[in-house]
Amino acid sequence: MIQGAAATPGGGVILWIGLAYLVVVSVIGAVATRRTRNAADFFLAGRAVGLVALSLSIMAGTLSGFAFIGGPGLLYSVGLGALFIILPAALTHAMSAWAVGRRLRLLGEIRNVVTLPGAIGARYRSPGAQSLAGAAILVAVLGYMATNFLALGIILDAVLGMGVTPGIWLGMGVTLAYAAGGGILAGIWTDIFQGLLMAVGSVLIFGFALEAGGGLGNISTTILAADPQFLEPWGHLSPLGAFSFYFVFALGALGQPHVVHKFFMLRDPAVLRWYPLLTTVALMATLLLFVGVGLAVKALVIQGAIPPLAEADQATPIFLLNFTPPLLAALVLAGAVAAVMSTVNSFMNVGAAALLYDLPAAWKRRSATEEGRAHSPSNASRGLGTQASHDLGLGRLYTVLLSLAAALIAQLSGTLVAFLAIFGWGLFASTLVPALAVGLNWEGATRVGALASIGTGLVVTLTGESLGYLGVYALPAGVTVSGLSLVLSFLAFFAVSYLTRASAASGLDPDIRAMMES
């Protein structure tokens, strides 16, 4: 039904807006590539990011295509329980600013840390913990990238009717063109453009959704008459299932490397003051599409205005093509592509940094401090030896290799992609959140506690998701592997830190202690 939207009435507008969007992104990428002179530019945008850029970039990177396509579809399917994924949005950015934002920015300054595993390595004086966290990130990054390339292929096929596989490679190629050249600098610049597009488009679509359904009250009345459970607080989920969503997405937000590592890029930590407010407002404005389209499409299907959806993910494309002006539909479809591309770009950068800085940390047998000093983009940018061009070149090479691998995974196996995507969020959360969010604020956390936490998250998530994927067992309603692994990771962190508490003080370098007390 959504195949080849460009061939529908108004499809010419969609096609031209899509092409114009690709041209804008390409121009931004080309300019950013010229400005990317060293690894500090490539991985940290030259540590020159301000408030608006940080907020829009984090907002754009957080949402991905899920907020535009998967989210409304999920709401259409399971009812209001889907909103528990986004309910904590009003709190998560203040929480991340308090728990990790300021600390990571300071750590980046005093140790030239580039990545979240690097921050763990420096905090616990443990290259092993850095490598383990880097390995976890790399696995999840590949899965996320493959999923997002597949989403790009589906959207491009829907708009251009070109087939999913060519769409995967076209989407990957465009993203790679600016990501490999301009690194995260290109990502930040395009995020500003893409974030604005997403926010404005979502607010407008929310208005059209309410109008199409006759207002929120009419939408509710229509749904209540046909499916009252849909508008119960947890919809068709169990209360535990909805609350489990809330827990995993609230706490897990602290461990998403493509989002949290942007704190390293801040020019001035003082701008953090207004970061939670600005980011939260932008995020909630953008999430209006999620809520509006999910509810309106359900009501419109009940009213018979549109036929029942064959697939829930068609909710947004069908609504756009049937109930909004072609120009707006084109802008929002471009916004959906924008959301996916900005997330992928961040993952490309995080994955390349993990390959370059984190995975080698353990077998090089150097301390996190030495690693940071030797490979620091900041120091490199100050002209220390030939490391700058070496890291920049390797960063670009790893970005290309990761992208090719992810696109191949996306093309070759749809079920494998779905499997990889399932555990991405949970793997990030369970391996990074306790060691980072608690560890950066509590001197009593120990290296062994951090290793136990990361190891528990890695083992429980990979084992649990693999057994579930292979059909060996099914968890009871409301229980998710990601939630369970996050809880167990927290408990392992606290239990082992308590048992090894005698080593806590001696495991802290003086500058790290000063950072934690500042």
Partner 1 sequence: MSDRIPPTPWPVPGIALAAGILLFGYVWAFLPHGVPAGVAWLFMAAAIGMMIALMALGARSATVHRTALGWILLGTFFLLCGAFALAFMLPPGVDPVTGEVAALWWGLPPRAAVVVYGAGVLPLFIIPIAYAWTFRR
Backbone angles phi, psi at 34, to 5 degrees: -65, -30
74 binds partner 1, rule: CB under 8 A: no
Q: Does the footprint of partner 1 cover residue 247 (CB under 8 A)?
A: yes
DSSP letters spanning 177-208:
HHHHHHHHHHHHHHHHHHHHHHHHHHHHHHHH
Burial of 162: CB neighbours in 10 Å, binned 0-12, 13-18, 19+: middle
Task: Give the C-alpha separation, 373 to 323, whole Å.
Answer: 56
221 binds partner 1 (CB under 8 A): yes
Count of positions on this chain that bind partner 1 (CB under 8 A): 75
Our finding on whether 496 is near partner 1 (CB under 8 A) is no
The one among 3, 389, 441, 463 contacting partner 1 by CB under 8 A = 441
Report the site for partner 1 in 276-315 (rule: CB under 8 A): 276-277, 280-281, 284
Verify binding: residue 382, partner 1, rule CB under 8 A. no
**Minimum separation from the CB atom of position 463 to partner 1 (A):** 16
On whether the CB atoms of residues 240 and 418 are closer than 8 A, the answer is no
Which residues are CB-contacts of 446 (< 8 A; sequence separation ≥ 6)? Answer: 124, 496, 497, 500, 501, 503, 504, 507
H helix runs in 387-444, sequence order: 387-412, 414-433
Residue closer to partner 1 (CB basis): 401 or 475: 475
Q: Which stretch binds partner 1 (CB under 8 A): 70-78, 162-170, 214-222, 356-364?
A: 214-222
Number of Cβ atoms within 10 Å of the Cβ of 501: 13
Which of 88, 117, 182, 449 contacts partner 1 by CB under 8 A?
Answer: 88
Interaction between residue 50 and partner 1 (CB under 8 A): no
Residue 419's nearest CA partner among 197, 79, 235, 144 is: 144
- Binding to partner 1 by residue 94, rule CB under 8 A? yes
- CB-nearer residue toward partner 1: 230 or 398: 230
Could you give the CA distance from residue 39 to residue 186 in angstroms, rounded to a whole number?
13
Asked if 233 is part of the footprint of partner 1 (rule: CB under 8 A), the reply reads: yes
Structure tokens at 111: 């140790």
Q: Tokens in use for 424?
A: 């991405």
Q: Which of 420, 437, 451, 452 binds partner 1 (CB under 8 A)?
A: 437
- How would you class 59 by CB atoms within 10 Å of its CB: exposed for 0-12, middle for 13-18, buried for 19 or more? buried
Q: Name which position in 216, 312, 408, 462 contacts partner 1 (CB under 8 A).
A: 216
Which CB sits closer to partner 1, 193 or 246? 246
| DSSP character at residue 237 | S
Minimum separation from the CB atom of position 370 to partner 1 (A): 19
Instruction: Pick the binder of partner 1 from 22, 161, 232, 416 (CB under 8 A).
Output: 232
Hey, what amino acid is at 183? G
Is residue 23 within the footprint of partner 1 (CB under 8 A)? no
Kindly state whether residue 52 participates in binding partner 1, applying the rule CB under 8 A: no
Q: Applying CB under 8 A, does 34 fall inside the site for partner 1? A: no
Supply the minimum distance, in Å, between the C-beta of residue 229 and partner 1: 9
Cα–Cα distance list, 473 to 12, 460, 463, 470 (Å): 49, 14, 12, 8
**Phi-psi sector, 256: left (phi>0), alpha (psi -120 to 50), beta:** beta
168 binds partner 1, rule: CB under 8 A = no
Q: Which stretch binds partner 1 (CB under 8 A): 44-52, 419-427, 447-455, 502-510?
A: 502-510
* Alpha-carbon span 97 to 410, nearest angstrom: 34
As beta bridge partners, residue 163 has: none
Least distance in angstroms from the C-beta of 234 to partner 1: 8
Q: Which is nearer to partner 1, 83 or 138 (CB)?
A: 83
| Residue list 463-482, contact with partner 1 (CB under 8 A) | 475-479
For partner 1, the binding residue among 80, 156, 338, 512 (CB under 8 A) is 80
Q: Are 152 and 337 in contact (CB under 8 A)?
A: yes
Site membership for partner 1, residue 63 (CB under 8 A): no
Among 8, 52, 98, 177, indicate the residue that binds partner 1 (CB under 8 A).
98
Three-class SS string for 316-349? HHHHHHHHCCHHHHHHHHHHHHHHHHHHHHHHHH
The reply on whether position 124 binds partner 1 by CB under 8 A is: no
**472 versus 502: smaller Cβ distance to partner 1:** 502
Single residue of 44, 69, 89, 388 touching partner 1 by CB under 8 A: 89
Task: Please tell me whether residue 219 binds partner 1 under the rule CB under 8 A.
Answer: yes
Q: For the CB of residue 471, give the shortest distance to partner 1 in the complex, in Å.
A: 18
The reply to whether 501 sits near partner 1 by the rule CB under 8 A is: yes
